[in-house]
A = this chain, B = another copy of it.
Amino acid sequence: MSEHSSPDRPASERIATRIRHPGPFETGATVRLDADRAHHLRHVLRLAEGATVALFDAAHGEWTARVSAYGKRDATLEIGRCRRAAEAAGPDLWLLMAPIQRDRLETVVEKATELGVTRIMLVATARTQGGRVNVDRLGAIATAAAEQCERLDVPAIAEPMPLEAVLRAWPADRALIAAVEAGEARPVAPVLQEMVAIPGGAAMRGGAVLVGPEGGFTSSELDALRKLPFLCRVGLGPRVLRADTAAVALLACWQALAGDWTAGGEDRRPPFRG
């Protein structure tokens, strides 16, 4: 789905990679990349001098930049034109997730970034397993995913906290959707549709989803969740989903029904000729 390598685009316009770098930039200005970034461009992506990349930051936007020279421990880029100014922020969507096995958690961080999550909160529950969480590494994965998926911003990721403490300090105007076993809750689609239809629902364009650990929530955790006025439990069908699957599925449903996947494109014909 990436457009980076699209052969349909003139070579002069081809953006070989996107790099997060604090801006703003002026056309014609020079930017120096550090040794790690220079190494990545030269030896991993094998970009020749003259190649075009993009630099972006959330506050200012995105610019093209030409690799003008590689040094021994750096690279010099020359700023081209502004590709886009920083846009109005998208929906403010948080993911609350019990830490799971390392590689599965890393996949969730990558997918959550692509799916537009603005904040990832790791929450410890009674049945949460898994060892120490390396938040720096998760942040690097989120940054790489933001570069790849053409986001300007990167989700914030905090050190794990007990779920109870997070819920005690919860902002009452932020709707929280928790995935639980299907028999215990309403299906996800009508809940999201009703949420969007509520008068003043626009105030809820900031939302959050919660996914428990592989063992699920305990009965007493479920009792506590049931009492929270800002929380709604939803089911994700009859099969038992892994926590990582539930997180990606619930985020996709949220964006499709309540988030920024609702804006349209060109194809206005009816979906199927019955």
Contact between A239 and B182, CB atoms less than 8 A apart: no
Is A191 interfacial (CB-CB < 8 Å)?
yes
Interface bits A196-238 vs B (CB < 8 Å: 1, else 0): 0011110010000001101110110000000001101101111
* Chain A facing B: main interface SS: loop
Q: Which residues of B contact A216 (CB under 8 A)?
A: 1-3, 6
Is A92 interfacial (CB-CB < 8 Å)?
no
Contact between B274 and A239, CB atoms less than 8 A apart: no
Q: How far is the CB of A62 from chain B (nearest CB, A)?
A: 13
Bin the interface of chain A by size: 35 or more
Please tell me which one of the listed residues B5, B232, B250, B264 contacts residue A272 in the complex, with CB atoms under 8 A apart: B232
Is A23 interfacial (CB-CB < 8 Å)?
no
Contact between B261 and A149, CB atoms less than 8 A apart: no
Q: Which residues of B contact A30 (CB under 8 A)?
A: none
In the complex, 28 of the A-B residue pairs with CB atoms within 8 angstroms, ordered by the A residue number, are: A1-B241, A2-B242, A3-B240, A6-B216, A8-B218, A110-B245, A114-B240, A114-B241, A115-B245, A148-B242, A149-B239, A150-B240, A184-B266, A187-B261, A187-B265, A191-B271, A195-B272, A198-B272, A200-B274, A201-B274, A232-B267, A237-B255, A238-B260, A249-B249, A249-B251, A249-B255, A253-B253, A256-B256
